[in-house]
């Protein structure tokens, strides 16, 4: 029973290669060396291919992660923009409402003042009339007295 010089496992078949790791098992030294070189190159090629596939997979995953990250950031920015817009809208609405309420208050105030002025004018007119009547009466009685004095 022989063992594979490469992997150390038992070789149970009579093939030219180990059935476990496919290491060449030729008896002839020159052939074996050549085969061993080919085998070693194949191993290197395999290793490189594995590394290439691994690097490709990692690059793909990295790109995927980055795309996800960008999407997430964009979503966060979109939400922030939306929030700002909503806040601006709310502030605008509040400002509009305040302007309207102020205008309403001022209109009410103006109306009140107009009413007060109207009442004041009415009162003044009444007072003036009263004063006029009194003056007229006084004039009348003075005239009467005068006439009476002259008659005496
Ligand atoms: Zn082997």
Which candidate, 88, 67, 91, 93, places its Cα nearest to that of 80?
Answer: 88
Question: How far is ligand 1, taken at its centre, from the CA of residue 7, in Å?
Answer: 4
Domain-wise residue ranges, the chain: 2-151
Question: How far is ligand 1, taken at its centre, from the CA of residue 62, in Å?
Answer: 37
| Each residue's pLDDT tens digit, 91-121 | 999 999 999 999 999 999 999 999 999 999 9
Highest-confidence segment of 33-47, 94-108, 129-143:
94-108
The pTM score is 0.39
Question: How far is ligand 1, taken at its centre, from the CA of residue 25, in Å?
Answer: 9
Give the span between the Cα atoms of 53 and 98, in whole angstroms: 67
| Each residue's pLDDT tens digit, 22-31 | 888 876 777 7
Question: How far is ligand 1, taken at its centre, from the CA of residue 15, in Å?
Answer: 12
User: 77 pLDDT exceeds 70?
Assistant: yes
């Amino acid at each position: 029973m022989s063992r594979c010089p490469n992997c150390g496992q038992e070789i149970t078949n009579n093939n030219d290669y180990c059935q476990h790791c496919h290491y060449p098992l030729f008896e002839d030294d020159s052939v074996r060396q050549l085969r061993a070189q080919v085998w070693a190159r194949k191993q290197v090629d395999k290793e490189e291919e594995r590394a290439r596939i691994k690097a490709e997979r990692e690059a793909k995953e990295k790109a995927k992660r980055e795309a996800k990250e960008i999407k997430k950031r964009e979503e966060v920015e979109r939400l922030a923009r939306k929030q700002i817009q909503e806040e601006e809208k709310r502030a605008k609405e509040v400002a509009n409402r305040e302007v309207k309420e102020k205008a309403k208050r001022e209109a009410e105030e103006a109306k009140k003042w107009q009413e007060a002025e109207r009442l004041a004018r009415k009162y003044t007119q009444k007072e003036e009339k009263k004063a006029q009547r009194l003056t007229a009466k006084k004039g009348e009685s003075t005239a009467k007295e005068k006439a009476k004095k002259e008659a005496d």
